[in-house]
Amino acid sequence: MNTPKRLVLILGDQLDLKGAALRGFDFKTDEVIMVESIPEAQYVWSHKAKIALFLSAMRHFSHSLQELKYSLTYIQNSPLSIVGALKEKIVEKQITYLICVQPGEWRLKLEIEEMARELSIGLEMREDDHFYCSHQEFSQWAAAKKELRLEYFYRLMRKNHHILVDSEGNPEGGQWNFDQDNRKPYPKKGPGIIEAPVLFEPDLVTQEVLDFVNTTYSNHPGSLDHFRWPVTRQQALEALDYFVEYRLRNFGIFQDAMWTDTPFGWHSILSSSLNLKLLNPREVIHAVLDAWKKYSLDLSTVEGFVRQILGWREFVRGMYFLDMPKMAQDNYYDHQRQLPQWYWTGQTHMACMKDAIGQTLEYGYAHHIQRLMVTGNFALLAEILPSAVCDWYLAIYVDAIEWVELPNTAGMALFANGGRFTSKPYIASGAYINRMSNYCGSCKYKPEIRFGEAACPVTTLYWNFLIQHRSQFESSPRTKLMTANLKRISDADQKLIVEYADHLLNKLNHL
């Protein structure tokens, strides 16, 4: 029997020399392939920084492979899809066996499986070991639950992996969750001095990519002027060290806070490195736990951070693979409106949206509360078609890969799956944004006004949403309180809110 001719596919978000794809690589016979695909950067209208980050990180990774003497086919700027280019090479090289790590995008997974069937080659799709929880473990956990909630999954992960628990499995500090300590706005005078995150000057490889992206994708959204993302594992490790030493201490307390021209706050800015697999979540959590002792950090900040990685990151990934392809089509409220044009330009009078979108266009980054409670909240209240919102998030953030973007956007921000893993829609009026930021101070609109020219659109649409969905909100103890506040608004004012909301919804492009 002939030995199979094996090809190892490494995707742009699988850049780990120790990852599952390269395990058991036979240097005598096996080959690696990596593909830069132009259509891949275009199927959503990707931010220039997102395209540049992928290309630069892939090219740096390919140099490491070459230094280590892997036999590598690296296809630059293919006009074909990833699978189209891969297929050509498989035929040309008479490959009989393809190895890869499971892609983080459902579509790509299906395409690769279909191609392998069509070409009658062997396919070994290995589990991605950049996660604590395997698909099997997650499905088993989910199958035994009536309600799929982060909190219970997170506790199990803590216990299973002995993270922040004592020898009997009890939570460190006597509590599983310190969320209540982690929701403070910045002081009224502003955030004060924040240790800036470590930034990386583009080297020659990155510079070449930036020039290429600026020329080839000149009509794509966003800017490359501030491109300082880690593009190698070395840089990602440096970013991690810097974060735990200088920025972690205030991560927890100001996790939800927003302030004009403060794009990164005390956040880690590690998502793109984690998602490209330049960093492994285990080393991130260990670095955080070491820093806790070394720098005598508050448990609340450490727990808050661990929850994001060991809890949310694992949970949404489990949900994505459990619920696809349905998750991409869900539209619980049957929202059909188009995404306002200013999501792509930041040109709106709403100061909160202008700041969150403005920094997104500059850096390809906004932190969680900006994504959830500013741009996400507005999209839900403004009844935007979920798939249009999801395409925007997938296009515009440098860390956006579908396994993490879709559950966060469709599931968390838009309640598009009717609360499959959240107990209520995450909605808020301008009062919340006013409490958590300084945005309203410079805004044309007033957060406390519910209708009329000076009314805050977020506030009008929030009350309108509650009025429209009153019975749904009243049916759950978690949301009953929200509609209880409606009783304080007279029927006449509620009528005016609905009329004014209707007016706003018909001129979303002009807010």
Q: Which does 411 bind (CB under 5 to 8 A by kind): ligand SF4, ligand FAD, none?
A: none
Under the binding rule (CB under 6 A), the answer on residue 365 touching ligand SF4 is no
Which residue number, 46 or 434, has a Cβ lying nearer to ligand SF4? 434
Minimum distance, C-beta of residue 445 to ligand SF4, in the bound complex (Å): 4
Q: Which does 22 bind (CB under 5 to 8 A by kind): ligand FAD, ligand SF4, none?
A: none
| Residues contributing to the site for ligand FAD (CB under 6 A) | 267-271, 274-275, 308-309, 312-313, 316, 367-368, 371-372, 376, 393, 397, 399-400, 404-405, 408-409, 412-413
Report, in Å, the least distance between residue 364 CB and ligand FAD: 10
Q: Which residues lie below 8 Å from residue 232, measured CB to CB, with a gap of 6+? A: 57, 60, 61, 64, 278
d(CA 494, CA 429): 15
Min dist CB 39 to ligand FAD, Å, is 20
According to the binding rule CB under 6 A, does residue 445 interact with ligand SF4?
yes
Q: What are the tokens at 394? A: 């997938």
> In angstroms, rounded to a whole number, what is the distance separating the alpha carbons of residues 309 and 250?
17
Segment interacting with ligand SF4 (CB under 6 A) among 299-307, 364-372, 427-435, 499-507:
427-435
| Residue numbers 455-474 binding ligand SF4 by CB under 6 A | 456-458
* Helices and strands (H and E) in the chain: how many: 23, 5
Of 212 and 426, nearer to ligand SF4 (C-beta) is: 426
Cβ proximity to ligand FAD, 198 vs 412, nearer residue:
412
- Pick what 408 binds: ligand SF4, ligand FAD, none; C-beta below 5 to 8 Å, kind-dependent: ligand FAD
| 6-9 sheet: strands from edge to edge | 72-78, 31-37, 6-9, 97-101, 122-126
Answer yes or no whether residue 350 interacts with ligand SF4 by CB under 6 A.
yes
Six token digits for residue 40: 């891949």
Non-local CB neighbours of 347 within 8 Å, separated by 6+ positions: 341, 354
**Residue recorded with tokens 């280590």:** 68
Residues of this chain, 84-113, that bind ligand SF4 according to CB under 6 A: none
Asked if residues 461 and 378 have their Cβ atoms less than 8 Å apart, the reply is yes
Q: Shortest approach of ligand SF4 to residue 455 CB, angstroms?
A: 9
Burial class (CB in 10 A: 0-12, 13-18, 19+), 38: middle
- Residue placing its CB nearer to ligand FAD in the complex, 408 or 494: 408
Contact characters 372-411, ligand SF4, x per CB under 6 A: ----------------------------------------
Closest approach of ligand SF4 to the CB of residue 260, in Å: 10
Q: Which of 240, 257, 302, 352 binds ligand SF4 (CB under 6 A)?
A: 352
Q: Which does 12 bind (CB under 5 to 8 A by kind): ligand SF4, ligand FAD, none?
A: none
Rounded CA-CA distance 288/251 in Å is 11
> Phi-psi bin for 75: left (phi > 0), alpha (psi -120 to 50), beta?
beta
Residue 31 or 399 having the CB closest to ligand FAD: 399
Strands 72-78 and 97-101: unpaired
CB of 210 to ligand FAD, least distance (A): 22
Reported as half-sphere exposure (CB side, CA atoms, 13 A), residue 200 has a value of 24
Beta bridge partners of 375: none
Distance CA 151, CA 144 (A): 15
Options 108-116, 441-449, 468-476, 480-488: segment touching ligand SF4 (CB under 6 A): 441-449
Q: Which is nearer to ligand FAD, 315 or 465 (CB)?
A: 315
Q: How far is the CB of 7 from ligand FAD (least distance, A)?
A: 29
Query: What span, in angstroms and rounded, lies between the C-alpha atoms of 368 and 415?
Result: 16
- State the nearest-atom distance from the C-beta of 297 to ligand FAD, in Å: 14
Residues 268-327 that bind ligand SF4 (CB under 6 A): none
Out of ligand SF4, ligand FAD, none, what residue 371 binds, judged by CB under 5 to 8 A for its kind, is ligand FAD
Question: In the complex with ligand SF4, which residue's Cβ is closer, 357 or 433?
Answer: 433
Helix, strand or coil, per DSSP, at residue 472: helix
CA gap 224, 85 in Å, rounded: 28
Q: Which segments of 161-280 does DSSP mark as H helices, in order?
A: 204-216, 233-242, 271-276
Q: What is the dihedral of CA 231, 50, 74, 101, to 10 degrees?
A: 90
Q: Is 412 helix (H, G, I), strand (E, B) or coil?
A: helix
Q: Taking the complex as a whole, how short is the minimal distance between the CB of residue 23 and ligand FAD, in angstroms?
A: 24
3-state secondary structure of 133: coil
- Tell whether residue 258 is a contact of ligand SF4 (CB under 6 A): no
Nearest to 84 by CA among 119, 60, 55: 119
Q: Do 463 and 429 contact (CB within 8 A), yes or no?
A: yes
Whether residue 459 contacts residue 277, with contact meaning beta carbons closer than 8 Å, is answered with no
Given ligand FAD, ligand SF4, none, residue 268, with its beta carbon under 5 to 8 Å by kind, binds: ligand FAD
- Which of the listed partners (ligand FAD, ligand SF4, none) does 372 bind, with a CB threshold of 5 to 8 Å by partner kind? ligand FAD
Say whether residue 500 binds ligand SF4 (CB under 6 A).
Answer: no
433 binds, among ligand SF4, ligand FAD, none (CB under 5 to 8 A by kind): ligand SF4
β-strand partners of 35: 75
Q: Which residues bind ligand SF4 (CB under 6 A)?
A: 350-352, 430, 433-434, 439-440, 443, 445-447, 456-458
